[in-house]
Amino acid sequence: MDLLQKLTILADAAKYDAACTSSGVDRAARPGGIGAVMAAGCCHSFAADGRCITLLKVLQSNACCYDCSYCVNRRSNDTPRATFTPRELADLTMQFYRRNYIEGLFLSSGVVQSPDHTCELMLETLRILRVEYRFYGYIHAKAIPGASPELLQALALFADRMSVNIELPSRQSLALLAPDKSRQDILAPMGFLRDGIARGKQELVRYRHAPRFAPAGQSTQMIVGATPESDLQILRLSAALYEKYALKRVFFSAYLPVAEGKHLPAPDTKPPLLREHRLYQADWLMRFYQFDASELLDEAHPNFNPYLDPKCDWALRHTEQFPVEVNKADYEVLLRVPGIGVTSARRIVKARRAGTLDFDGLKKLGVVLKRAKYFTLCRGRAFPGIVMTHDAILRALLSDAALESMEQADQLSLFDPTMEDVKACLTGQM
């Protein structure tokens, strides 16, 4: 099997992993080396589904010895198998980088023979890049659950970000769909990486040139829709992971019916993309808007309204807290108003020191009035023509959501992915 065939198989097999990020660390180029990293990242490459990314996103191997029901790479699935040698993958990464296709590497793998053997293959790939080629670009590596701490330690010293996929939201679902994995095998590497990252930060304070241990932190991913857990259960788990393991991000991946099984949704089930989107919005509210999972949802309302964003959904269930007078409300209260974000809340607090604000002023400050007008007062007055009752607001918001959905459905894709550029790169015709 030639290199292009391997790349086609292993890049396609990697597309189900949502945690594709390139930020959180600064590292300048060094004399004699190649590449550098900026904390903000630099997106100028595209994945096959049209997402703008910076990384070569690929598996070391898809010859997995595990039989996870939801995974296209499970051992019982009849799919083409391929494995990169460490040298092949390191050379491929450098070719793509030199042609300005990528800013770095996102490396994961199926479990080849054993977790330790898989980690050794990935570790040798990163060693070649960092030591032999002196590559200083961004690298995101997946920690293989069940691998030895010594191998994880070595991987984290070469990688910028590490991640361990928790995969399914409950212990019961993991046992049902991924019998070869255990929750402990997943959480143990998370704890090891958390402690190593904290220890690394302390050492850098004391020793300027101390080795950097996963300086961009760690993340994880959960599959949404393959099992019956509610949005509330997923959010509670996310909040616990942030608190206990100091994660940078929890990623959500809508389940794609790539396999048939008695415990899985039917093959013709559509991926719950809107549900995934709502969970990302709720995750944003928890990380930047001071919401708790127990505030956004409760036992009486375990799932989000798919037709409303989580902030509007929450506001309509707490109408007693509205409307808010924008000229007097605290910053924390403003953050809870639909249509007011972190930046616009800060601008409001700053602008009202010079005088009172009206609705035109709010719009100039970046407030999304088509939502905020239902929940705010300016100078003690509501937005002209607004009826501030629960049912009236709900109808208006649902009407706006329906219009937005129709507009999005009319948008055309401008990206038609092919393998021609990749072929040209590998054959030296570029």
pLDDT at 31: 75
| DSSP letter (8 states) at residue 14 | G
* Cβ pair 26, 36 in contact under 8 A: no
pLDDT at 410: 46
Take residue 268 and report the two structure tokens written for it.
């013709």
pLDDT at 19: 55
Nearest to 252 by CA among 230, 228, 273: 273
Per residue, the 3-state secondary structure of 30-83, as one string, reads CCCCECCECCCCCCCEECCCCCEECEEEEECECCCCCCCCCCCCCCCCCCCCCE
Q: What is the spatial distance between Cα 11 and Cα 419, in angstroms, rounded to a whole number?
A: 11
Per residue, the 3-state secondary structure of 337-378, as one string, reads CCCCCHHHHHHHHHHCCCCCCCHHHHHHCCCCHHHHCCCEEE
- At 107-157, the pLDDT tens digits run 999 999 999 999 999 999 999 999 999 998 889 999 999 999 999 999 999
34: burial class by Cβ within 10 Å (0-12, 13-18, 19+)? middle
Cis previous bond, 323, omega within 30 = yes
Element (H or E) spanning 138, and its range?
strand 138-142
Q: Which residue ranges of the chain lie beneath pLDDT 50?
A: 22, 40-48, 406-419, 422-423, 425-428, 430
CA distances from residue 386 to 95, 328, 372, 375, 389 in whole angstroms, order as listed = 59, 21, 11, 10, 9
β-bridge mates for residue 162, sequence order: 141, 218
Q: What is the spatial distance between Cα 144 and Cα 111, in angstroms, rounded to a whole number?
A: 8
pLDDT at 216: 87
Check the CA dihedral 178-180-186-187 and report its sign.
Answer: positive
Look-up: residue for tokens 């080849």? Answer: 112
Nearest to 342 by CA among 324, 317, 368: 368
The two beta strands, 45-46 and 104-108, are unpaired
Q: For residue 4, how far is the Cα from the chain centroid?
A: 28
User: What structural domains and CATH numbers belong to the chain?
Assistant: 3-259+270-302 (3.20.20.70), 310-404 (no CATH)
What is the C-alpha R_g of the chain? 24
Residue 409 phi/psi, 5° resolution?
-65, -25
183: burial class by Cβ within 10 Å (0-12, 13-18, 19+)? middle
- What is the rounded (10 degree) CA torsion for 310, 316, 319, 323? 70
β-bridge mates for residue 298, sequence order: 301
pLDDT at 321: 93
The two beta strands, 52-53 and 45-46, are antiparallel
Q: pTM, whole model, 2 decimals?
A: 0.84
- At 226-282, the pLDDT tens digits run 999 999 999 999 999 999 999 999 999 999 887 777 888 888 889 999 999 999 999
Q: What is the spatial distance between Cα 331 and Cα 367, in angstroms, rounded to a whole number?
A: 14
Kindly write down the DSSP assignment for every residue of 80-129, as one continuous string: ---B--HHHHHHHHHHHHHTTS-SEEEEE----SSHHHHHHHHHHHHHII
Q: Compute how many other C-beta atoms are within 10 angstroms of the C-beta atom of residue 177.
A: 23
